Amino acid sequence: MRKMRLTGIAAVAVAAMIAVPASADFNSDWKALIAAAQKEGKVVLAAGPGTGMRRTMPEFFEKKFGVKLQVVVTPSRQTAQRAIREAAVGAQTIDVFSTGQSTLIRVLYPKGLLAPIKPLLIHPDVINNKAAWMKGEPWFLDDKKEYMFRAVDLVIPMAFVNTKHVDPNGFNHTNDFLDPKYKGKIVVYDPTRPGPGSNAISYYMKFLGEKYVIDLIKGQKAKLTRSRRQLVDWLAQGRYPIAFAASINEIARLRREGFKIAAVQPKNVISYDAPGSGVITLLNNAPHPKAAQLFLNWIMTKEGMKMYQDLEGMPVTRVDVGRDGLMVPETVPKPGVKYFDTASYDYVVGESGKLFGKLKRLLKR
Amino acid sequence: MAISLRALRSGVTGNGLFNKRNVLSLILILALGSVTVVPVLFLVISSFNVADPGQATTFGLGNWIEAFDDSRILDAIWTTFSLVAARLSIGVLAGILFAWLIARTDMPGGTTFEFLFWIAFFSPALPLTLGWILLLDPENGVINSLFGSHFDIFTFWGIVWVHLTATTIPVAVILFTPAFRQMSAVLEDSARMCGASALGTLRRITVPLLIPAILPATAIMLIRSLEAFEIELLLGSPVGIFVYSTRIYDLIDEVPAEYGMATALGTLFLFAVFVMAALYALCVRGRRFTTVTGQGYSTERIKLGRWRWPAFALCTIYLSVSFGLGMVFLFLSSFMRRFGFFDIKDPFTLEHWRVLFDDPILLSSLWNSLLLGACTAVAGVILFSLVAYVVVRSRITGKGVIDILAWLPWAIPGVLMGLALVWLYLETPLRVVFYGTIAGLVVAMLIKELPVGVQLLKAGFIRLGDELEEAARVCGASWSMTYVKVILPLVAPVLATVAVLSFQAAVRDIASVVFLYDNDSRPLSILMLEYSFSGEMERGAAAGILLVIMITIMAVIARWLGHRSGTSS
């Protein structure tokens, strides 16, 4: 089964290579890069919980380039702290870090711990293929547009509901969540911790006000949890049939297992989009710079992005990979629709932090 | 080395300040101090550093004021001590009873029960907790569904119950049993001859005699209870029950981390350890606990008579409920498509095991765990026994200091100790050898297990009379020969206990190694954690079963070796 999948992906790769002709210069540069990467032997990629990148990708990458891809799965905050500690003494062990925007923009970037990626991109399928990208080029989140590659653009529905217990059509307005019949039926990923919960609830506080958030969380006696898995288990069991800030991979898994889970988005508030943990960065003084450069170029090709989308189950910012196989298609941005970008640099460095601080005080427990 | 140690034991001295004894004492103090005092100093100094991470150090009381001004922290501390009190009061009494039944009475199946307690303790707490959720979830728990009962695992007493079954009672039995077994039955025989009942003998003779063993063991459980984390996180956090360790974890889980406040809170451990060390010294001061001498040693067991089979039934029922059910559901969970969901299509699958064995990291993680466990066990037995011997039986100058140093690693919660070591490794040339390597993990585990190993072995050495050692020396044996051929075999069951505890701690531990491992040194426990992080609890359970199997094999070997050497001695 896995061999079949690898063969399929390889076929896509060949097609991608054909689509954008490579120059003689590129070919020699590419070969030289591969040779240098092989000399370094490996590239270390740190990714947060829920990543699917440890499956298939290391084997595929090594087979293709003869370079090991080591994927370390730890909570992003721990990886960030590790990066800070190691950089302080010049003993870096991580090359590439895939995570959410907040820690990167608020901590690692201002501390100068990230290296620019854009100047390292040499693959024609990445830099010369404007039609492939949602924004006409690889999407960078930072103010200089070269450090934080946004691999994912997800539209996040306000909530997911278990249709066995709750009618998904009953949420035309955000106040519908405040109906007393839903008291004790709502679970939220803890918004007092940095992460998807705080991202979501801060956003709703911005547009719907503090009172709405208090009514929703405290008034409705919403259950707060810090476990992605527990949140969706409760949703699936129907113990809490309405879930805010559920992990998209977990929702995808529930659907694969046959649970009837629907996304609900009231019409009185615009949806927001976010990269999830799909912001890819290169750490400064990476221990394997050439292997990291090779990985970054490859992951942004059609082949790399397709594999990333398949493994992570989230829509990537490269549109030519198609959207087949996504179990939560509601998260795919619709062309022409305007979303509020909670990962934009200005929002994260400005208002988002203040909203989060206010949220923590409001919900202190 | 042998000559030097002989000097230690026999009190051979040179002249003046730099005699052999003082120099050796200094070396020991420096060696032990460097691995125990440095992390504690790091903790204390950090608690007064009010500067942001990466900025120049500025000292102040801000972290302390902020930490203890927060009502949530005070609530968490109160909850922690309430949980600890509930767990220990039940756990220690139950542990004494089970250990006594196993080691001192003629209850059938004692050895098997003891072994099962070991396995219960070795089983990783995280998947076992999931097993209990599966059974006692208030809405979907199997027991509640089958019997219409209203058990709720997400409560204070739910947390106490899981701790009792997964950690407190098994560890009490493991720690108390060797001491019970090693005690000569002469005094018990005398009590019985004077007409005392079996329980009366236990209360008035056996337990008081075992105070030096029971006190440190209880202290171990107390400290472990204070830093207990996973069970509280899984069962407490969802319903708003927070404990001290969860709050510390929150603080260092921020980016940038609130090290100052976390370390200020961490210093509570320091006080707890000093109080315990002082209490221990007070309890054993001026009393003699020697029960193993050259003048006759009886190991005859108490005859329970008509209570033999009820005792057997008690142990069987307890282990079946507390351990058997948990294990069955741990095993079951590794075959469930989605843990706890019996009513989905095809609820059982081999997929998790297949993917686990397909994961190229599995083999290297298994190997790393074995290496880590074996190195920690071997190095631990050597190091801990030497330190314990010096503290209990030598006449070395400053052995009191060495004793205190051996307690110190308890003064830091595991997570903070891990952080302190990261800084130590990173900031010094030790980085090349220890950062991200198995050697670094072994050192971390040796430091972490130092107090447990040393206190257990001290309890073993304290009950050995001088006569056997003196007899060996009179017969011409060197100190090292006496140590290896006479002393160590007499404490062989304790050594086996220490070896297995060190092994299992090393292969199970997460808090101390989570900051120190690298991709090439990742042990199985971390792989299990990574699966859990990724929401793949079922695969994590499968990895947990592999861990249990590995530790069980180690336990069988250690017990066999311990019994063999104990018998031959």
Q: Closest residue of A to B423, CA-based?
A: A85
Secondary structure (3-state) at A167:
coil
Give dist(CA B282, CA B295) in Å, integer.
29
Residue of B140, B341, B426 with shortest CB distance to A91:
B426
Among candidate residues B419, B409, B71, B47, the one with its CA nearest the CA of residue B264:
B47
Give dist(CA B495, CA B384) in Å, integer.
9
Residue of B358, B427, B533 with shortest CB distance to A73:
B533
B54 CB near a chain A CB, below 8 Å?
Answer: yes
Predicted pLDDT of residue B1: 41
- Return the number of other C-beta atoms located less than 10 Å from residue B192's C-beta: 18
Among candidate residues A154, A157, A155, A133, the one with its CA nearest the CA of residue A145:
A133
- Return the number of other C-beta atoms located less than 10 Å from residue A14's C-beta: 10
Dihedral angle computed from the Cα positions of residues B265, B269, B271 and B277, in that order, rounded to the nearest 10 degrees = 180
- What are the φ/ψ torsions at residue B486 (nearest 5 degrees)? -115, -55
B515 CB near a chain A CB, below 8 Å?
Answer: yes
Give dist(CA A300, CA A137) in Å, integer.
11
Percent of chain A past pLDDT 70, that is, above it, reads 93
Secondary structure (3-state) at A144:
coil
Look at B256 and A93 and tell me if their CB atoms are within 8 Å: no
E strands in chain A: 42-47, 68-73, 96-99, 114-115, 148-150, 154-156, 159-162, 186-189, 223-225, 242-244, 261-264, 272-274, 279-283, 340-341
Predicted pLDDT of residue B94: 93
Look at B253 and A78 and tell me if their CB atoms are within 8 Å: yes
Give dist(CA B368, CA B374) in Å, integer.
10
**What are the chain A neighbours of B341 within 8 Å (beta carbons)?**
236-237, 257
For the purposes of burial, counting CB atoms within 10 Å of the CB of B193, is it exposed (0-12), middle (13-18) or buried (19 or more)? exposed
Tokens read off for B46? 């950090």
Predicted pLDDT of residue A4: 43
Predicted pLDDT of residue A139: 96
B234 CB near a chain A CB, below 8 Å?
Answer: yes
Predicted pLDDT of residue B537: 78
Binned average pLDDT, 10 residues per bin, chain A of 365 residues: 45 47 79 97 88 83 95 84 87 93 90 96 94 95 96 95 95 96 94 88 94 94 85 90 93 91 93 92 96 97 95 93 90 90 92 89 76
B237 CB near a chain A CB, below 8 Å?
Answer: yes
Look at B535 and A91 and tell me if their CB atoms are within 8 Å: no
- Asked if the interface predicted TM-score (ipTM) of this complex is over 0.85, the answer is no
Tokens read off for A306? 């397709």
B240 CB near a chain A CB, below 8 Å?
Answer: yes
Secondary structure (3-state) at B148:
coil
Residue by residue, pLDDT tens for chain B (569 residues) are: 444 445 555 444 444 555 666 677 777 788 888 777 877 787 788 788 877 655 677 888 888 888 777 777 888 888 988 998 999 999 988 998 999 899 888 899 888 898 888 878 777 777 678 778 778 877 667 787 778 778 888 899 999 999 898 888 988 888 788 777 766 666 667 777 777 776 777 777 777 777 767 776 777 677 767 767 778 877 887 677 888 777 777 777 666 677 778 878 877 767 776 776 666 666 655 555 555 555 545 556 778 888 889 999 999 999 998 888 877 877 888 898 887 787 788 889 999 999 888 887 889 999 999 999 999 999 999 889 888 888 887 777 777 778 878 877 876 777 677 777 887 788 788 888 888 899 999 999 998 888 888 888 887 887 777 777 778 778 877 777 887 888 888 888 788 888 888 888 888 887 778 778 887 888 998 888 778 777 777 888 888 888 888 878 877 776 676 666 554 43
The residues, ordered by sequence, that sit 6+ positions from B502 with a Cβ below 8 Å of its Cβ are B373, B376, B377, B380, B381, B445, B446, B449, B453
State if pTM tops 0.95.
no
For the purposes of burial, counting CB atoms within 10 Å of the CB of B27, is it exposed (0-12), middle (13-18) or buried (19 or more)? exposed
Give dist(CA B422, CA B443) in Å, integer.
12
CB B246 within 8 A of CB B232: yes
Tokens 């407490």, residue located? B236
Give dist(CA A142, CA A47) in Å, integer.
19
Give dist(CA B134, CA B329) in Å, integer.
8
CB B332 within 8 A of CB B132: no
CA triplet B238, B242, B244: central angle to 5 degrees? 150
Residue of A48, A228, A257 with shortest CB distance to B344:
A257
| CB crowding A22-57: b at 16 or more within 10 Å, else e | eeeebeeebeebbebbbebebbbbbbbbbbbbbbbb
Predicted pLDDT of residue A330: 92
Q: Closest residue of B to A111, CA-based?
A: B54
Give dist(CA A320, CA A133) in Å, integer.
7
- What are the φ/ψ torsions at residue A329 (nearest 5 degrees)? -65, -20
Predicted pLDDT of residue A20: 57
CB B276 within 8 A of CB B214: no
**What are the chain A neighbours of B250 within 8 Å (beta carbons)?**
193
